[in-house]
């Protein structure tokens, strides 16, 4: 992405002015991150920012650049796990959470409709329903992906991974997809963002609502997403506290 260049030299050179920087957005898939990226473009207009894709070696190539060169960036975003904030020296991590059942449903319907999705061919050619995918474990890696992405790489096992992810989440500036407006408000206060506008992007079209899905299947997904549900509940409580504290 071509860096923005319209911020005044004074704002760029004074870290106490303008948006808090540097920031690395740890983008967990299907958590309203695409919509948030449009907000980030506005908040960091005039600063050097980069949106890295998870193919073509873009992330690895950026990470290999000299630290002094990477330090010039105010913002980087990518589908990267905890630790990815080191892409920019001394960057603060930013992320988003989403209700785990809703996130899983969104992943399935995205894969069912989008030809570029990883499992689209298997789902479309096999005519696999949501129940089929759950039964076969085709998307099992998505069940507790938030925990997996936010844990320390050395934290293994369910409980250890959850505790690690919980500790790391507390170090993040983060929002909730279901509370997007409140999340942006929190980001504006915590990160000194200017006024921003947005519209929802990359939304699954024609996706059934949760109440239209077989309750037994939903219960199965809830059981499978146990770690992410615990992390989300912790995050929701912390989010409310931060809102009340105005930070």
The pLDDT assigned to 3 comes to 46
| Helix and strand element counts for the chain (H, E) | 12, 5
The pLDDT assigned to 97 comes to 98
- What is the CATH number assigned to the segment(s) 9-245? 3.40.50.300
Rama region for 90: left / alpha / beta (φ>0; ψ in -120 to 50; rest)? left
* Neighbouring C-beta atoms of residue 158, cutoff 10 Å: 12
Hey, which residues does 95 pair with through a beta bridge?
A: 26, 174
Hey, which residues does 88 pair with through a beta bridge?
A: none
In the numeric block, the tokens 């499978």 are attached to 224
Residues 141, 152: Cα–Cα separation, whole Å: 17
Cβ–Cβ under 8 Å, residues 49 and 37: no
Structure tokens at 176: 């909730």
Cβ–Cβ under 8 Å, residues 111 and 119: yes
pLDDT along the chain (247 residues), means of 10: 51 79 97 94 96 93 97 97 97 98 96 95 96 97 97 91 97 97 96 90 70 94 97 98 86
Q: Is the omega angle on the peptide bond into residue 155 within 30 degrees of 0, that is, cis?
A: no
Residues whose CB is less than 8 angstroms from the CB of residue 175 and which lie 6 or more positions away in sequence, other chains included: 36, 96, 97, 182, 183, 184, 186, 187, 239
Task: Tell me how far CA of residue 87 lies from CA of 8, 17, 32, 61, 102, in angstroms.
Answer: 25, 23, 22, 10, 30
């Amino acid at each position: 992405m071509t860096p923005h260049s319209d911020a005044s030299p004074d704002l760029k050179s004074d870290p106490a002015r303008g948006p808090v920087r540097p920031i690395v957005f740890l983008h967990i898939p299907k958590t309203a991150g695409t919509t948030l990226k449009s907000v980030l473009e506005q908040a960091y207009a005039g600063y050097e920012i980069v949106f890295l894709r998870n193919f073509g070696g873009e992330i690895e190539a950026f990470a290999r650049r000299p630290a002094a060169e990477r330090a010039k960036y105010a913002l980087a975003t990518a589908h990267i796990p905890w630790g990815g904030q080191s892409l920019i020296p001394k960057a603060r991590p930013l992320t988003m959470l989403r209700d785990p059942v809703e996130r899983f449903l969104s992943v399935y319907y995205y894969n069912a409709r989008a030809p570029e999705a990883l499992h689209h061919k298997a789902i479309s050619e096999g005519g696999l329903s949501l129940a089929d995918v759950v039964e076969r474990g085709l998307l099992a890696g998505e069940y507790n992906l938030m925990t997996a992405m936010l844990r320390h790489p050395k934290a293994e096992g369910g409980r250890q991974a959850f505790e690690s992810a919980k500790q790391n989440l507390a170090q993040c500036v983060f929002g909730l997809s279901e509370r997007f407006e409140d999340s942006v408000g929190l980001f504006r206060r915590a990160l000194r963002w200017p006024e921003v506008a947005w519209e929802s992007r990359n939304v699954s079209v024609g996706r059934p609502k949760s109440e239209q899905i077989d309750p037994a299947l939903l219960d199965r997904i809830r059981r499978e997403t146990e770690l992410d549900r615990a992390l989300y509940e912790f995050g929701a409580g912390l989010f409310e506290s931060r809102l009340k504290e105005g930070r």
